[in-house]
Chain A
């Protein structure tokens, strides 16, 4: 018997990354721009997506993939009511979506007709950060009531972001949230991150976001 050491140096979850890469190429070939929306539970993901769809539906065709840990279709139903194609992925208790689940979900959307595909990830600030889905951009919705220390406690999710939405700005007068402290944490992890302070209740900041995303979709080389 002969003992030897075999060098590997392969990233754990590299299989997911490869499939994410395939998703990205596939969506590009279909001319669909895609976004992955992550947040903790209750940050306002579904409200934000509904506002986004309402604002964009006369300007482009949008489809949604809803990730949920259980077989409740509350979120997917809300989206379908707006007249938008929505697919629900039940992760069976898993804490995140991965590239395999998204590949399956995508097949159920009319991609040929879509300009924008929005993925609502499972509410969680830890696990979704580790799984690339193959979207063009990754977005985090943070919200004022969650507290200003979140970037310090969940650094990994802030590292991979393209856009940060700070929701529930209307609650700022009632909550101890130090915008400067929050911003400092974000700046350390992701300098110059594009950030939109919004409120899905009052509509504050939503127009700026809509203009930005419309511009991104239109300039994505479609």
Chain B
């Protein structure tokens, strides 16, 4: 369970960009998390509610965009998604595969409120 460290990191990245852009308040944070990254959304949300108090991000909504894990078979070029456990190519059975996506783990954007110019 490293969700606390993850949540702290999300907060510090969001605060940095919020300040750089003169935000009065951060209203939402858009995260992209691949299926192969082991993070429990509920735990992040739980920590978030506690640690974001007294920051520009207080009460900001965390949006989790989950990217599926997509594998590419190097033998028959078949592309397939895995949901739970890693599997060899369902088309030809080869374990010779490449991970195309599913390892994403980043803050994509934040939505902020600014004073009118």
Which of A's residues lie within 8 Å of B, judged by CB? 1-16, 94-96, 98, 126-127, 130-131, 151-153, 155-156, 159, 184-185, 187-189, 191
Contact = CB atoms under 8 A, between A and B. Distances in A.
Contacts of A156: 36-38, 103
Contacts of A188: 71, 86, 88, 95-97
Task: Assign chain B's interface to a size class.
Answer: 35 or more
19 contacts: A2-B113, A3-B111, A3-B114, A4-B112, A5-B111, A6-B17, A6-B23, A13-B9, A94-B2, A126-B38, A127-B1, A130-B38, A151-B86, A153-B85, A155-B86, A156-B36, A159-B99, A185-B86, A185-B95
The A interface, classified by DSSP as helix, strand, loop or mixed, is mixed
The B interface, classified by DSSP as helix, strand, loop or mixed, is mixed
B107 A9 contact: yes
Contacts of B105: 11-13, 130
Interface of B: 1-2, 5-6, 9-10, 12-14, 17-18, 21, 23-24, 27, 31, 36-38, 71, 85-86, 88, 95-97, 99, 103, 105-117
A127 B39 CA distance: 10
Given A3-B111, A188-B97, 4 more contacts: A12-B13, A15-B9, A94-B2, A155-B36
A162 B13 CA distance: 30
A156 B86 CA distance: 11
A13 B106 CA distance: 9
For A8, A98, A185, the residue with the greatest tally of chain B CB atoms inside 10 Å of its CB is A8
A89 to B, nearest CB: 15
A4 to B, nearest CB: 6
B88 A11 contact: no
A12 B86 contact: no
Given A8-B110, A151-B86, A188-B88, A14 B99 contact: no
B95 A184 contact: yes
Contacts of B113: 1-3
Contacts of A131: 2, 5
